[in-house]
A and B are shown apart, each in its own frame.
Chain A
Amino acid sequence: MNLWLLAPELSLFFTAVVVLLLGLASSRRGIVIGVSLLGVLVSFVFAAFLWSGTPQATFNGMLSVDQFAVFFKFIVLAALVLVILASADYDYKVEQVRAEYFTLILISAVGLMLLSSARELITIYVSLEMSSISLYVLAGFLRDRRSSEAGLKYLLLGSVASATLLYGMSFVYGLTGKTELGQIASAIQSLSLSGLLDNPALLLGLVLVAGGFGFKISSFPFQMWVPDVYEGAPTPITGYLSVASKAAGFAAVMRIFYDAFGAPSWLGQNWGLLFAGLSIATMTVGNIVATAQANIKRMMAYSSIAQAGYIMVGLAAVSMGQSVAPAARSALAFFLASYTLTNMGAFVAIIAFSNKTNSDLIVDYSGMGRRAPLLALGLTLCLVSLLGLPPTAGLIAKVYIFNAAVQQGLLWLVIVAVLNTVVSAYYYLRVVKLMWLGNPVSEEPVPSSAALRTALFLACAGILLLGIVPDLLVRLSETAGHSLL
């Protein structure tokens, strides 16, 4: 057992405790944010060391530290940096409890990082809850009518989902007698089933587990909490929920359904087909309802549902073919990285706008191109990347994931996804059009703080960099996709 393998999580957790204690003495913004960012940096350095190591399992196979896990730790850390910067200008609303706010964010990040490594049912459940409970609190952090409603909805529905997940896990455990994913896989193979219906308990467990994670990754029909929670939660938390928690959820799904339920191949194909079907429903519902939204946070919520649908195309592709395809896993990792930058960037811009205008209505974005050209430019870039136009990371991500799906014989799914992309142009470009061609509601410029501008700049630079020289990240995600233990 090597504690160094847990260093990114441990250091981040230590930072969280330090921030909490600091809060007793001083809750000055600079100190709290500075310490948090420093902790993220330390954790990042540890993670970078792990990246160059060999994949290995630790804690008796409970955690696996492979490049795939480390890749998702990077994603969580990147989201963390952006959310901390984005909160810098938002935390006037939580001034009394600023330290707690950042502590909770850090702890939820620790949970998400553990989740991306976890390969044992108890660990998966505990790390999932570790992040979820922090996020429940954060969603309701403002304690006003909307925020507390978001918190309650998220908490109750999230608990239902985790109870479902747990019940499913109990059947998997009952069927195999194991909780470690690799052992579950061999136990299932030794059952020598020839179809899902040979053992209804397996069907039950599989579907309940899928449902529990479907909630986390906002797949149809478990996505209904998303718009309400995203609308009510503090905007930085909304951004964080939409990227980090989703990314780690996908990492866990990938690990569970590949490690434990990936073999025999008919089983893999079954759930591949299931995810393909859910993917179509998810992206279609997300895109179609997004067109009818008037509130930009709600629109982004539906947009993130739609994006989850695209990511599930990659999930379906992993095991749809005769063999498991590492390419699809790499594509999924790349897509999530690009999506993290893009969505966080968009939310940073939204925070900057609403700080000034106190409104999240899309109509109030009219003429923003004149009131805040740089912010509007950043938001435009993010929306264009979400849509998947050149020269942004979003395009590469879509091409990457769709290509992986086509190679696994999922052309029909890709056609549906492309049609969906066309629909999504409507609502993304509507905002862009309104910002640049609409008449400003007022001529007053929209100022933004240095922290927000830094966050937006980082996100946009990443989007463009990955869009123009995608090879940088493609190599990393290929390593990640092939490294899974």
Chain B
Amino acid sequence: MTVGLQHYVVLSAILFSIGLYGTLGRRNAIVVLMGIELMLNAANISLVAFSRYLTPPALTGQVFALFVIVVAAAEAAVALAIIMTIYRNRRTIEVDKIDLMKW
């Protein structure tokens, strides 16, 4: 079996779904964050795969993925900082307990 574009696309779809599941279903804020990172990486995989298979000489997709990685790192840093303050305030990082504001 040769690995082709569709395998990468399916892989990225699976990864995206796992990430989405983590985001929607897990309670720990850190795990939710990991889910989001998975979703971003799913997008990266498909970007790189499309770039490699569809527009071989140009590296647009790869460059895009690099930017995404940088942005995701910044996002994670900020997220961890905010989760820290949440923890200081309430001694929990269970996202379903963080519902002071509603309705």
A binding-site residues for B, Cβ under 8 Å: 121-122, 125-126, 129, 133, 136-137, 140, 143-146, 148-153, 155-156, 159-160, 163-164, 166-167, 169-171, 173-174, 177-179, 227-228, 231-232
B binding-site residues for A, Cβ under 8 Å: 9, 12, 16, 19, 23, 29, 32-33, 36, 39-40, 42-43, 46-47, 49-51, 54-55, 58, 60-61, 63-64, 67-68, 71, 74-75, 78-79, 81-83, 85-86, 88-90, 95, 98, 100-102
A179 touches B60 (CB 8 A): yes
- Report how many A-B pairs have Cβ atoms within 8 Å: 123
A140 touches B82 (CB 8 A): yes
Q: Contact check: which of B19, B67, B90, B101 meets A228 at CB < 8 Å? A: B101
Docked Cα-Cα span, A262 to B49, in Å, equals 27
A173 touches B61 (CB 8 A): yes
Docked Cα-Cα span, A447 to B56, in Å, equals 66
B101 touches A167 (CB 8 A): no
Would you mind naming 11 contact pairs between A and B with Cβ atoms under 8 Å apart? A125-B64, A125-B67, A145-B100, A151-B82, A153-B98, A155-B75, A155-B79, A156-B79, A167-B43, A169-B64, A179-B64
Q: Contact check: which of B55, B63, B78, B86 meets A148 at CB < 8 Å? A: B86
Residues of B within 8 A of A169 (CB): 43, 64
Docked Cα-Cα span, A143 to B81, in Å, equals 10
Closest to B36 in A: A159
Using A122-B67, A125-B71, A129-B75 as known contacts, say yes or no to A149 and B101 having CB atoms under 8 A apart.
Answer: yes
Using A156-B95, A173-B61 as known contacts, say yes or no to A148 and B101 having CB atoms under 8 A apart.
Answer: no
B60 touches A173 (CB 8 A): yes
Smallest CB–CB gap between A232 and chain B, Å?
A: 5
Closest to B32 in A: A156
Docked Cα-Cα span, A179 to B88, in Å, equals 43
Residues of B within 8 A of A231 (CB): 101
Residues of B within 8 A of A166 (CB): 40, 43, 68
